[in-house]
Structure 1
Amino acid sequence: MSVDTSQPIAHAFTAARAAGRSLPAYPGTPPATLAEAYAIQATAIARWPDAVAGWKVARVNPAFATQFPEERLIGPAFAANVHRVGPGGTAQCPVFDGGFAAVEAEIVIVVAEGAPAGKSDWTADTVAPFVQSMHIGVEVASSPLATLNDIGPGAVISDFGNNWGVVVGAEIPHWRELETIAVETFIDGQSVGSGKVAIKPGPLGALAFTLNKRAQQGQVLKAGDVISTGMITGVHDIRIGQQSRHVFAGCGELQVQITRA
């Protein structure tokens, strides 16, 4: 995808995000390849007036695996959208009215140190030294475009990975002793999903993927970056004014209050 093609798409998404407004349709032709999608993402990041403070990670839907042949995708988490809350705390998180909005219970990793440049063969077995801490958390997924996820991974990547918040909750100090963590998500008091996350293939695998992807992009992770490592209980649609609660068995819980971007 040429710069002339990626620029208008990046401009449309960033302008809508800055204004807190929705988009009626994808602003152009959705990217057909990973290279095109990440080119738009890079252009949009360069346009956004905030520092990247970490990354969200998500699985690529198997239905799109042939067109987008990577197991995961990443998108930037900006400093203003990283919310740290204490045990049992509530984060105030904005979403786009008329756009896509969802909450996802996730494990969040805080990166311990910068990675060596150019190394792109990290695995779940080798990334533990880069974990400063592991936390219970939530990704707040939101885009000005309500149908972003339906269009596919290329569209998701192009619009900041459909991210508009990473909530960093209580630390899990004993994560090295755990194989799995059971999690349940509630919205306005009603259970909407439950699941278990396996620490090594899940969070550590997501960290390895992010290290490798950024190295392939000629970049590195920095100490203090947050990595939101992938949904555990599902992707749960949520509306402005609603509140979600996320319970991580034996590790704590946190809440998210949804506000208008």
Structure 2
Amino acid sequence: MTSSLRDIAGSFVAARQEARALPDFPGQIPADLATSYRIQDTAIELWPDQVVGWKIGKVPPHLVGPLGAERVSGPVFAHNLWIAKAGEEIAFPIFENGFAAVEAEYVFRIGVDAAADKIEWTRDEVAGLIGAMHIGVETAGSPLATINDLGSTVVASDFGNNYGLILGPEVADWRAKLEAGLSCETFIDGQSVGKGVANVDPLDALIFLASHLAKRGKPLKAGQYITTGAVTGVHDIRIGQHSRVSFNGSGDILCTAVKAVANGRSV
């Protein structure tokens, strides 16, 4: 790890801990995802919390060829994992003058450890790792407001643009329902901002992650939660706004964005 890459990781970690926006990317933008994940790995080491899961996001179509990847990943930490209860609204922190969004997710809870040296996976094989599927909302967030505009190498370098996971109830008989297609809809301040359907995508996303993490020496572990992709899209949210995500009969998740504070979740 060169000092410049470590400096980038340290800058993102410090900004997150201090709940402080970054005006620009803190260094030279990584040219490839391998460099981005080196930054991310260093930031994980610096971050004073336990990894309890991973988020998966899509690489924009115009970058898939140049980067040689369709997806990116980042860690979910214990401090920003919330358990949603029916009818209760979760307050989640966002960085003032940074980036913030809500994303409707189908979330896998890993039931057994993945083999540390297994790189190639099929849908049936990754399905065997799954203990349950939940509904959820990823609270995407970064101190860098332009993180998505600057591309996937920047996204990967800052924890995959993740700032938390709101976990809802389990989806019963999840595999049959997923094969039939599970739909959901996201609302912000009462207005619908996106609809979507998930079928094979969550399993394909897990295939990517199982291989990706094994190559990084961080194989999937029992108990981890995996957000599998933004089903209705990535929806920007501001401090004080409310969101509701409705999951096709599997429940609703209610949340509101509040201002993050230094070394804490929110005010």
**Could you state the TM-score of these two structures normalised by the residue count of structure 1?**
0.96
2:202 matches 1:181: no
CA distance in 1, matches of 2:248, 2:222: 28
Deviation at 1:70, TM superposition (A): 1.2
* Secondary structure in 1 matching 2:96: coil
Secondary structure, aligned partner of 2:54: strand
SS at match of 2:138: strand
Q: Aligned pairs, how many?
A: 258
Give the CA deviation at 1:132: 0.8
Q: What residue in structure 1 maps to residue 236 of structure 2?
A: 237
Q: Separation in 1 of the partners of 2:212 and 2:175?
A: 24
TM-score of the aligned structures, taking structure 2 as reference length:
0.94
Aligned to 1:214: 213
Q: CA RMSD in A?
A: 1.0
- Match of 1:76? 75
**Aligned counterparts of 1:59 and 1:238: Cα–Cα separation in 2:** 19
Aligned counterpart, 2:254: 255
SS of alignment partner, residue 65 of structure 1: helix
Secondary structure of 1:125's partner?
Answer: helix
Amino acid in structure 2 at the alignment position of 1:255:
L
Could you tell me which runs of 5 or more consecutive residues in structure 1 were left unpaired when the two chains were aligned: none
Letter in 2 for 1:108: V
CA offsets per residue over residues 15-67 of structure 1, 9 Å max, x none?
Answer: 00000010000001111011100000001111000011100001111111122
Compute the displacement of 1:87 (Å): 3.1
Question: Residue 88 of structure 1: CA displacement?
Answer: 3.9
Q: Equivalent residue for 1:6? A: 5
Matches within 5 A, 1:1-261: 2-178=1-177, 179=179, 180-198=181-199, 201-261=200-260
- Write the distance in 1 (CA, Å) between the matches of 2:29 and 2:65: 16
Write the deviation string for residues 102-135 of structure 1: whole angstroms up to 9, x where unpaired: 0010101111011111101112232111111101
Specify the SS of the correspondent of 2:67: coil
Q: How far apart are residue 203 of structure 1 and its match?
A: 1.4
Letter in 2 for 1:221: L
SS in 2 for 1:127: helix
1:174 Cα deviation from its structure 2 partner: 1.6
Counterpart code for 1:83:
W
Gaps of at least 5 residues in structure 2 are 261-267
Rounded Cα–Cα distance in structure 1 between residues aligned with 2:233 and 2:244? 13
Q: Which runs of 4+ in 1 moved over 3 A?
A: none
8 Å Cα contact 1:32/1:67 also seen in 2: no
The one-letter code sitting in structure 2 at the alignment partner of 1:231 is A
Counterpart residue identity of residue 163, structure 2: W
- Determine the C-alpha separation between the residues in 1 that align with 2:86 and 2:13: 33
Aligned-partner Cα distance in 2 for 1:28–1:227: 30
Query: What secondary structure sits across from 1:11 in the alignment?
Result: helix
